[in-house]
Amino acid sequence: MSTAKNLLNRPRLTKIIPAVLTIALLTLPGVLSHSVVRGDTTTSSTEQLITEYSAAYIGQVNVAGLPAPTEGTLTPLSLPDLSVSTQAQSVTDPATIVTPGSQSFIHIVKNFAGTPGTNPNPCRCSPPDMGLAASSKFVVQMVNLAGTIWKNNGVKVTTFSLSDFWFLPVRGGPLGIGMSDPQVLYDAAADRFYASIIDTFDVNRVNFAVTATNDPTGAWFIYRVIANCNPVTPYSNCSPASSNTLPDQPYIGYSSDKFLIAVNDFDTTSGLFIGAQYWILNKAEMLSGCTAPTSCPGGRNIDAVTNLVTTTNNFWAIRPAQHLSTTSTAYMAENCLTLAGAFITNACFGTPAVPPGSGGINVFKITGTPPSATTVMVTTVPVAQMSFPGRADQPGNPASLGTNDALRMQSVVWRNNVLWTASHEGCTPTGDSARTCARLDQIDTTTLPACPACMANQDFDLGFFGAYVFYPALSTDSSNNLVLLYGHSSLSLFPTLEVTGQLATMPSATLARSVLLIAGTAADLSTRWGDYFWAATDPATPNTFWVSGEYRTVSLFQGWSTQVGEISFQ
């Protein structure tokens, strides 16, 4: 699903409604210290919390026993879209725009077809939503309604139905679709795979899972949380508003002791944004599969409530980081704006360090392990202000490719005290007109929360004159080398997948010569492109990564394809 979905075909949003967050305890009654860093001062507030809340255990599924999915005869459908803006906007302080340089060290080791939009994907929909994860033995991809597992050498092991995996129907429910927005990650420290998806059959639920062992072809434990709900038990005492709340694009992340889920809540009756919401869960409890004496995963639920009054305590699209080295401190991040006017997303806390008309990244620093005291500190790191991306060109079809997710982060990874984020935004290369670029930011988390001294180590755009960049996906290796997958199109270039990167020894704001993963040969006429691409680090092989994204060889509505590649830095 896209930035926001107009599930009832309402007009496209022109303004994001700010939201105030309330804080609820998931496992034990008590208090939670919620510290917020604003500019050069730190303020803390302690709030009485609501009674316990824990994730519900749904059951266990064994992938080896699941049937292969088959393409149905259902009418093709376009996944609903509530993109904030389709018009690129100029800004007064854009980031430096760089193009891939001449340094050559990126190689495509393996390159094979991922799950396509046709058989065996029964979704018959557009666009794909995908996750990708890799261990030393397996590569796992989930796209729309199908999952595929390969050995780490690229040999396919199995393809299975996500409907059977998540115990959900392919279609149905109030929204007409059973599930959407799958993601899958691998946690090297725990040696487990994680996955998540929106339960759109029941509307208001996020299902998430963890493998029982390090083998994704075997058993997975399946859990559930409910959006916009703070009940004593997961299925009782929810407010009526909860049943109409869609938790859009559930991004997941993890640290050594915490599992994180963050969503954007939307009211399905009005189409309006309610607010951001995230869960901080006890990872050890989640890994246990609720076996005695370990309880089901509990933690903290930072919930969203509607508030139509502009406030500095509102969030838009929070993304948990994948923590690729050991840490009990977890991080999340989101883009923030200080714009006032027709387009408002959320507030930057760092006034006066981040004055009106500037931009920033809100970094969430989470300490403590539920059910013990947990602290969330929010720091704004100043960056060049971002602008809304417009539609991208394709051969014969100018401004026809929907880049959707305006300003929402696409990737967030943390390793060795370095946080990397990737977004796509509107930009204007020198001498050019409005385009789209990939914004890359690198933040040293050891400086937080020492604002206003804190700043991004790197803050720049990847862009091309006369062309468009969209859906960047990044990851890093143990040497802090960066890989970046992105989409690229123009009036002479069909949407294509390319890979670039940055060695830790390279100068700031520079990228290597890009390499082609796969070339698109057809235009997308659905007006929707993939909501996100994915990149993952191979934990077994140094300087090696796995990436996946969307491309087309036919313009048939559901005729999109995905490609999986193994990338090596030599």
Task: Say if 502 falls within a structural domain.
Answer: yes
Give Cβ neighbours of residue 357 (< 8 Å, ≥ 6 apart).
92, 93, 338, 339, 385
351 closest CA partner among 452, 458, 448: 452
Q: What is the pLDDT of residue 171?
A: 85
pLDDT tops 60 at residue 548: yes
> How many domains, the chain?
1
Task: Say if 168 falls within a structural domain.
Answer: yes
> Are 557 and 75 spatial neighbours (Cβ–Cβ below 8 Å)?
no
pLDDT tops 70 at residue 31: no
User: 371 falls in which pLDDT band (50, 70, 90)?
Assistant: confident
d(CA 46, CA 74): 52
> Are 15 and 258 spatial neighbours (Cβ–Cβ below 8 Å)?
no
User: 332 falls in which pLDDT band (50, 70, 90)?
Assistant: very high
Q: What is the pLDDT of residues 438-459, one digit of tens each?
A: 999 999 999 887 665 678 999 9
- Dihedral sign computed on CA atoms, order 118, 121, 125, 130: negative
Q: What is the mean pLDDT of residues 529-548?
A: 94
Q: What is the pLDDT of residues 170-188, one digit of tens each?
A: 888 877 888 999 999 999 9
Strand order in the sheet with 138-143: 130-134, 138-143, 146-151, 156-161
Task: Say if 180 falls within a structural domain.
Answer: yes
Q: Is 134 helix (H, G, I), strand (E, B) or coil?
A: strand
Task: Say if 2 falls within a structural domain.
Answer: no
Token pair 């994680």 is found at: 194
Task: Say if 506 falls within a structural domain.
Answer: yes
Q: What is the pLDDT of residue 349?
A: 63
Task: Say if 3 falls within a structural domain.
Answer: no
Enter the DSSP assignment of 69: P
Percentage above 70 pLDDT, the chain: 77
Mean pLDDT of the chain: 82
pTM for this one?
Answer: 0.89
CATH number, domain of 266, equals 2.130.10
pLDDT tops 90 at residue 270: no
User: 301 falls in which pLDDT band (50, 70, 90)?
Assistant: low
Q: Write out the residue range of the structural domain in which residue 316 sits.
A: 19-569
> Are 43 and 377 spatial neighbours (Cβ–Cβ below 8 Å)?
no
pLDDT tops 90 at residue 135: yes
Task: Say if 509 falls within a structural domain.
Answer: yes
Q: What is the mean pLDDT of residues 545-570?
A: 95
Task: Say if 9 falls within a structural domain.
Answer: no
218 closest CA partner among 160, 136, 284: 160
Q: What is the pLDDT of residue 466?
A: 97
What is the maximal distance between C-alpha atoms in the chain? 65
Token pair 């960056």 is found at: 383
User: 29 falls in which pLDDT band (50, 70, 90)?
Assistant: very low
26 or 234, higher pLDDT: 234
> Are 137 and 151 spatial neighbours (Cβ–Cβ below 8 Å)?
yes
E strand residue ranges, 368-417: 375-383, 392-394, 397-401, 411-415
Report the range of poorest mean pLDDT among 165-169, 193-197, 404-408.
Answer: 404-408
119 or 399, higher pLDDT: 399
Side-chain half-sphere of 469: how many Cα atoms within 13 Å? 31
